[in-house]
Amino acid sequence: MSKKPETTASLCLSKLALFSLGLFFSIFFFAHLTLHNDHVQMLLKAFRVIDDGQWSHFGNATTGMGFLPGSFLTAVSAIPMKIYFSPYSALAVILLFHVISYLLFADVLKKNFKPVIILDFLLLYWLSPWRVEQTELYNPAYLFLFSAVHFYTAYHMNKKSFWMTFFHVLTIGFCVQVHFSVLMLGILSLGLWGFRYLKVNWWGFVAGSAVVALSLLPWLMAYLEHRELAVAVSKESNSFIGKNFVLVYPVLKGISYWIRYGAISYGRHIFSEINFLWIQDLTVQKIVSGAFHGGKYLFTAVTVVFSAVVQWKIFKKVWKTDRPFKIRQDRTLVQGEERIYLYAFYMFCSMILATGLSPVEFNHWHLILAFPIVTVLITIAFSQLRDRMPARRFAWIFSAVLVVFSLFNIFGALGSRVHSYQSNFHRDVLQLYKEYHQHPENKSNNNYLQWKHEEK
């Protein structure tokens, strides 16, 4: 009995250390960003609000699909910078969204498993380069909150609840104003309701819908004046709704991302494109680069197999036990771990439908809404591994994952496609703001490559 307080204190200190490390990596990544067009789109919204009080009700340009509503996106990026002019003000909101997402997922996990699972979740979610590298001033960075709130509310909607329904509707309604991948959440909610996974409080639904409708009114008024900015499939792209089902490959690519979200197999900009130019000695640079890029594939192979096997077993169990597509079966009775698995299964199906319906090709950030729930599944399996394995051996595995994650986070920030040891994002944003005023034609040009710059 005397060891229990020490064990609890040790667990708390370990969680605090991992949480602090994740915050450090997030800030480190953000500080070394290299300015590009996605950042400029966000910053121009802030500059216009700060200087002229001009509010942009359109979001960032989608890939060949026009502009989504964007009043909410403008609010979360521009208001913090208006209060205190620094890109770190916008970062504070992004980090707040990520922290809340962690807390919501962790709350469900700790209610269904041993307390130590939170330590595993901090490692696999909070410290994951998949999350850390999304600490960036562009719209997908905000999606972690929507993924978490959607899961949390759906999980608790096994009984009718005004507030859970209210926030569930708000999640979809405000995610529409952030990123086109909201299609995944919309399909998922319809599926969860249709297959009786959740119960809807209709007063909560009406209240949430009313708030969403009010938030969209400014966009609607702006849209009536600028119909050319509507959400529409670009004629020049030769695309159509459902194109990816015809091509097949994009759907398979989406499935591969689902598996990769649970593994050390990141987007190429922080995987194959990591460089070591910050090491001045060429011999040392080559040795470190060779060791890192050679060794990473071992961890990639092991973790991809682990992710695929774990999720195959989980979905196989869901298919046999819960019969997820059986009509008129009350799934609100499903509880605990099984309820998490069932939600993940429906999310997987929604992702396949969304990728198939999409008229354009996508990358990993288009599906990042799926990353958190995939990590929840991997965390549960990882924690079960802890129970079956000798403590010392598991400690080595835990430490190895921590070291690998840390190396990717440090090396990715110091040298990769959109990060560099020479970059200073705060300095570059201040320079951008200066050029925004020096050359009036820059104010209406979202393409940073075409900007006029200060002569040096």
Give pLDDT tens digits for 371-381: 999 999 999 99
Residue 67: its pLDDT value, please? Answer: 72
User: Per-residue pLDDT tens for 17-43?
Assistant: 999 999 999 999 999 999 988 888 889
Q: Which two tokens stand for residue 336?
A: 């605990």
Confidence (pLDDT) at 272: 86
Taking residues 72-87, report their average pLDDT.
Answer: 91
Residue 359: name the closest of 183, 172, 147, 177 by CA.
183
Which has more pLDDT, 446 or 272?
272
Torsion of CA 204, 206, 210, 212, to 10 degrees: 60
User: Average pLDDT of the chain?
Assistant: 89
C-alpha separations of 407 from 3, 13, 47, 288, 372 in Å: 34, 22, 35, 11, 21
Helix (H) or strand (E) holding 416: strand 415-416
DSSP 8-state assignment for residue 62: P
Q: Give the model's pLDDT for residue 219.
A: 85
Neighbours of 390 (CB within 10 A): 8
Percentage with pLDDT > 90 across the chain: 67
Q: Residue 38 has what DSSP assignment?
A: H
Higher pLDDT, 220 or 59: 220
Q: Does residue 424 register a pLDDT over 80?
A: yes
Pairwise pLDDT comparison (101 vs 57), residue with the higher score: 101
Other Cβ atoms less than 10 A from the Cβ of 329: the count is 14
pLDDT attached to residue 1: 39
Asked if residue 406 has pLDDT above 70, the reply is yes
